[in-house]
């Protein structure tokens, strides 16, 4: 695995991202449905006329598979990830699921041909998030839903040595894209998208969770955000509608859910 992706090959990754595996279903639902990208995906899947094939890129230990099969039993799921320990853990927990170990360029899932791609918290860990988003858009038949990191002020700092996060003792890129740069780029995708929605949960990203980011990202006025992004594939004929909004997420789980999660984690 390349240096920029080496952190994900660590055994600790499979342990760290397995926190939801023992929580009961109502906590799992509550945990995911706090997030704007999951709400956008649910609304789209609820309105879909046909059952879809969904590819999750960066599935880690497969917890989203458990959520999706509960919430959308008609959707067919395929997950992929570059992390061997994480995909092995996913296969061990959910033998009925389909989890594919892939390379960073996703060649191992070229054959999948998904209607929908869901990709949460992966693009900002690529040295070039915009190239990665473009690649996913090319692979999805109709819809791409992601969570990325954005900033309203200041240019995207594309250098991973200046914009990174320490994961399991290894630096990984952590690239915060300028929201206007992003929207301009998305509107030029071919075929042109019919709809782009960017839904921002503003928060100061700098200094949290072992991140080493450009200094501006430590100030609220830079407008950094965890941002849900939905891109509907167009046919290239109609103009692209762009909707940009701020929707704060309530990240606090309720008291009962927190107690149940704690018990689930500590009783194993
Ligand atoms: C921060 S974790 C997010 C995991 C999960 N999507 C979530 O939201 O909990 C990032 C995951 O993306 C995977 N990843 C990183 N680069 C990737 C790539 N180019 N293709 C597929 N998976 C990738 C990592 O191995 C890791 O499991």
Query: What is the rounded distance in angstroms from the CA atom of residue 59 to the CA atom of residue 74?
Result: 19
Give the residue, by CA position, lying nearest to ligand 1 atom 14.
58
Is it the case that residue 247 has pLDDT exceeding 90?
A: yes
State the distance from the centre of ligand 1 to the C-alpha of 236, rounded, in angstroms. 30
Enumerate long-range contacts of 78-84, CB under 8 Å, 24 or more apart: 78/53, 78/54, 78/109, 78/112, 78/114, 79/55, 80/55, 80/56, 80/106, 80/108, 80/109, 81/8, 81/57, 82/1, 82/5, 82/8, 82/9, 83/8, 83/9, 83/13, 83/14, 84/9
Tell me how far the alpha carbon of residue 166 lies from the centroid of ligand 1, in angstroms: 15
The pLDDT value recorded for residue 51 is 82
Q: Could you tell me the distance, in angstroms and rounded to a whole number, from the CA of residue 86 to the centre of ligand 1?
A: 9
Rounded to the nearest whole angstrom, what is the distance from the C-alpha of residue 217 to the centroid of ligand 1?
22
Q: Is the CB of 199 under 6 A from ligand 1?
A: no
| Total number of domains in the chain | 1
User: 73-127, pLDDT tens digit by residue?
Assistant: 999 999 999 999 999 999 999 999 999 999 999 999 999 999 999 999 999 999 9
Nearest residue to 198 via CA among 123, 109, 128: 123
Beta bridge partners of 165: 172, 211
Ligand 1 atom closest to the Cα of residue 83 is 25
Of ligand 1's listed atoms, the one at least distance from the Cα of 147 is: 8
Residues 6+ apart with CB under 8 A from 65: 56, 59, 77, 79, 90, 94, 97, 99
Question: Who wins on pLDDT, 143 or 1?
Answer: 143
- Report pTM: 0.95
8 A C-beta contact, residue 172 and residue 164:
yes
139 lines ligand 1 (CB under 6 A): no
The pLDDT score that the predictor gives to residue 134 is: 98
Looking at the CA of residue 56, tell me the nearest atom of ligand 1.
Answer: 6
Q: Map tokens 């996703």 to a residue.
A: 106
Query: What's the CA-to-centroid distance between 10 and ligand 1, angstroms?
Result: 13
pLDDT band at 268 (very low <50, low <70, confident <90, very high): low
**Residue 10 is part of a domain; what is its CATH number?**
3.40.50.150
**Distance from the first to the final alpha carbon of the chain:** 32
Cβ-proximal residues to 239 (8 Å cutoff; 6+ apart), any chain: 192
Residue owning tokens 């880690």:
60
Percent above pLDDT 90 for the chain: 88
pLDDT for position 263: 74
Q: What's the pLDDT band for 50 if we cut at 50, 70, 90?
A: confident
Query: Could you tell me if the CB of 82 is within 6 A of ligand 1?
Result: yes
Binding site membership of 119 for ligand 1 (Cβ less than 6 Å): no
State which residues form the domain around 243.
Answer: 3-266
- For residue 167, pLDDT beyond 80: yes
pLDDT tens figures, 169-206 = 999 999 999 999 999 999 999 999 999 999 999 999 99
DSSP states of the chain: --GGGGGGGSHHHHHHTTTTTTS-HHHHHHHHHTSHHHHHHHHHHHH-SS--EEEEES-TTSHHHHHHHHH-TTSEEEEEES-HHHHHHHHHH-TTS-EEE--TT-GGGTT---SEEEEES-GGGSS-HHHHHHHHHHH-SSEEEEEEEEESSS-----TTTSEEEETTEEEE---EEHHHHHHHHHT-SSPPSEEEEEEEE---TTSTTEE--GGGGSGGG--EEEEEEEE---SSSPPEEEEEE-----PPPHHHHHHHHHHHH--
Does the Cβ of 225 fall within 6 Å of ligand 1? no
Dump pLDDT digits (tens) for 3-46: 999 999 999 999 999 999 999 999 999 999 999 999 999 999 99
């Amino acid at each position: 695995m390349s240096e920029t992706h080496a952190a994900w090959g660590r055994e600790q990754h499979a342990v760290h991202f397995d926190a939801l595996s023992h929580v009961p279903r109502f906590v799992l639902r509550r945990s995911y449905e706090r997030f704007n990208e999951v709400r956008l995906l649910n609304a789209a899947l609820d309105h879909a006329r046909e059952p879809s094939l969904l590819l999750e890129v960066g599935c880690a230990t497969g917890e989203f598979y458990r959520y999706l099969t509960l919430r959308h039993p008609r959707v067919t799921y395929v997950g992929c990830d570059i992390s061997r320990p994480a995909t092995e853990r996913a296969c061990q927990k959910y033998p009925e699921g389909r989890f594919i170990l892939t390379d960073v360029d996703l060649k191992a899932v070229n054959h999948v041909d998904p209607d929908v791609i869901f990709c949460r918290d992966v693009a900002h860990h690529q040295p070039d998030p915009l190239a990665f988003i473009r690649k996913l858009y090319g692979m999805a038949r109709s819809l791409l839903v992601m969570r990325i990191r954005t900033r309203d002020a200041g240019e995207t700092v594309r250098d991973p040595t200046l914009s990174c996060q320490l994961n399991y003792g290894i630096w990984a890129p952590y690239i915060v894209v300028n929201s206007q740069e992003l929207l301009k780029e998305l509107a030029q995708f071919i075929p042109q998208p019919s709809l782009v929605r960017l839904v921002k949960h503003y928060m100061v990203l700098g200094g949290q969770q072992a991140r080493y980011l450009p200094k501006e990202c430590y100030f609220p006025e830079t407008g950094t955000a965890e941002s849900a992004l939905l891109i509907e594939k167009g046919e290239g004929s109609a103009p692209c509608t762009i909707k940009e909004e701020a929707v704060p997420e309530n990240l606090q789980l309720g008291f009962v859910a927190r107690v149940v999660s704690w018990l689930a984690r500590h009783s194993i």
